[in-house]
Amino acid sequence: MMNLIHKFKNNPRIKNSLWMLIEKALSLFGLIFVVSAVAKYLGPEVYGYLALAASIFAIVNVIARLGLDQIYFKSISKNKTKKIRLHNNIVNLITIVYVPIAFIVLTFFFFKLDIKYFLFFLATAVATYFTSIDMREVHLNALLLSKINVLANTIGLIFSLFLRFVIVKFNLPIYYFVFPIVLVTLIPYLIRKIIVNRRRIFDNTHFFVKKEFLKYSNYFFLVGVPLVISMLSVNIYLQSANFFLALFDGSASVGIYSIANMLAGAWYFVPTTIVMSFLALIYNAKNEEDYINISGKILRYILLITLLIVSLLFFLSDYLILWLYGEDYKQSIYVFKILLFAYFFSVIGFYFYRLAMKFGGYSFLAKKMTLTCLLNILISYFFIKKYGVIGAAFSALITEFLSNMIFNLYYRDMKMISVFSKAIGWRK
């Protein structure tokens, strides 16, 4: 037993996972005790505008990043480079893409919304920009230095949650929420920048060179566009429910669905953190046998953890929703139960998405997720139009199952059946 504890204690990947879990656990604390108070304070309709802004700029973020965060993580985890050239060129390209798209979106909503609701969109745009360009967070995770990210993100989160609490406590006007929205990403970005510079994690100073930037940009677009199509498709079908609910039922339904969706996915960080921490082991597997053994064992633990969490939350769902959010959100209970199973299949998809990347399956991912996105839009349109928020939940469940359990079978390089067989004990 002591040997096992010693082994876990000295394994850098396990230690890195624990730090990432600590950060997400603190975020979960904020979700439970502060965000619930904010949701009660704002009510479903106003909270729906916040959720809609987050949905829209989540898509803008994916477009601007071009999948480069995944490419950057893979590059750093393999090469452990300290050179800042790749980092800076990625950040420059993200900025060039993000700013004009955000401007167009904000201009559209400026003429559509009351100014107090438009400010939510403006604040979300600024906050998302700092998330988009924060490649230092990716770099630190790839180097198994998540402890720094935990420190930075926790400070930003605590400060943001404190401001939200003050706004609710003293019944301040709702436009004051723009400050915690921005600071929750700005503070961690600045802290990471300071720590990385002081520790000299990057070993040289890099200046912008137009010719070099164009060379990198050509490569980024060549590799990133297929990946961003895949990721964009994922985000569109994840956010399409909010868009159709806003269209057919109004912002109050968006608020109801968003609360259920947020709480149903609150545990998502546990299995995905494990995946990200052990991903380098899979990427560095020397042969097919090692790959199947390693990826199968990791999947086994992911499935066990995920099933345990889903089962527990399912039986506590009524109590959780009413206690955290009150009677105004009672309709979220059934939606929450359905979405728990959607997130179960989503975890499986998250894992096999990363496995496909090991084999350079960018083209497959782009095609699969484009098909998934189109299918989800079709299902969501009819289900939400007829059944409202319940239809939104079922459309998410159907989409996640088809995308992650059926469509992935067609990419044979990642040996999905063999990996599953290893995970459940059918393969020795």
The span from the CA of 70 to the CA of 358, in Å, is: 11
Per the CB < 8 A criterion, the answer to whether 295 and 359 are in contact is: no
Q: What is the DSSP string of 270-320?
A: HHHHHHHHHHHHHHT--SHHHHHHHHHHHHHHHHHHHHHHHHHHHHHHHHH
Is 172 strand, coil or helix? Answer: coil
Tokens of 8: 């876990």
The span from the CA of 118 to the CA of 363, in Å, is: 37
Instruction: Give residue 4's pLDDT.
Output: 45
The span from the CA of 239 to the CA of 233, in Å, is: 10
Q: How many residues does the chain have?
A: 428
Residues contacting 133, CB < 8 A, separation 6+: 91, 94, 95, 98, 189
Tokens of 84: 């800042």
The span from the CA of 219 to the CA of 207, in Å, is: 19
Per the CB < 8 A criterion, the answer to whether 334 and 368 are in contact is: no
Instruction: Give residue 428's pLDDT.
Output: 56
The single residue listed with the structure tokens 């299902």 is 379
Per the CB < 8 A criterion, the answer to whether 92 and 209 are in contact is: no
Instruction: Give residue 427's pLDDT.
Output: 60
Angle, helices 288-325/251-264, rounded to nearest 10 degrees: 130
The span from the CA of 125 to the CA of 407, in Å, is: 34
Four-residue CA torsion sign, 160, 165, 166, 168: positive
Nearest in space to 164 (alpha carbons), one of 184, 139, 150: 184
Instruction: Give residue 1's pLDDT.
Output: 46
Query: Any idea what the Cα angle at residue 57 is, between residues 55 and 58, rounded to 5°?
Result: 65
Nearest in space to 202 (alpha carbons), one of 91, 88, 93, 65: 88
Instruction: Give residue 316's pLDDT.
Output: 94
- Going by the DSSP 8-state scheme, the letter that residue 412 receives in this structure is G
Four-residue CA torsion sign, 12, 302, 272, 23: negative
Instruction: Give residue 227's pLDDT.
Output: 72
Instruction: Give residue 13's pLDDT.
Output: 63
Query: Any idea what the Cα angle at residue 356 is, between residues 354 and 360, rounded to 5°?
Result: 110
Instruction: Give residue 122's pLDDT.
Output: 98
Nearest in space to 161 (alpha carbons), one of 28, 319, 262, 40: 28
What pTM, to 2 d.p., does this model score?
0.78
Is 117 strand, coil or helix? Answer: helix
Q: Write b or e for each residue in 18-51: b if 16 or more Cβ atoms lie within 10 A of its Cβ, otherwise e.
A: bbbbebbebbbebbeebbbbbbbbbebebbbbbb
Q: What is the pLDDT along the chain (428 residues), one digit of tens a residue?
A: 455 455 555 666 666 667 666 767 776 776 666 778 888 889 999 999 999 999 999 999 999 988 888 777 777 777 666 667 777 888 888 999 999 999 999 999 999 999 999 999 999 999 999 999 998 888 887 777 778 888 898 899 889 989 998 999 899 999 999 999 999 999 999 999 998 888 877 766 656 667 777 777 777 777 777 777 767 777 787 789 999 999 999 889 999 999 999 899 988 888 888 887 788 788 888 888 888 898 999 999 999 999 999 999 999 999 989 988 888 999 999 999 999 999 999 999 999 988 998 888 888 887 888 888 899 999 999 999 999 999 999 999 999 999 999 999 999 888 899 999 988 887 65
Helix H or strand E segment including 74: helix 68-79
Fill in the amino acid letter for 147. K
6, 189, 309, 315 from 270: Cα distances, Å: 22, 23, 10, 19
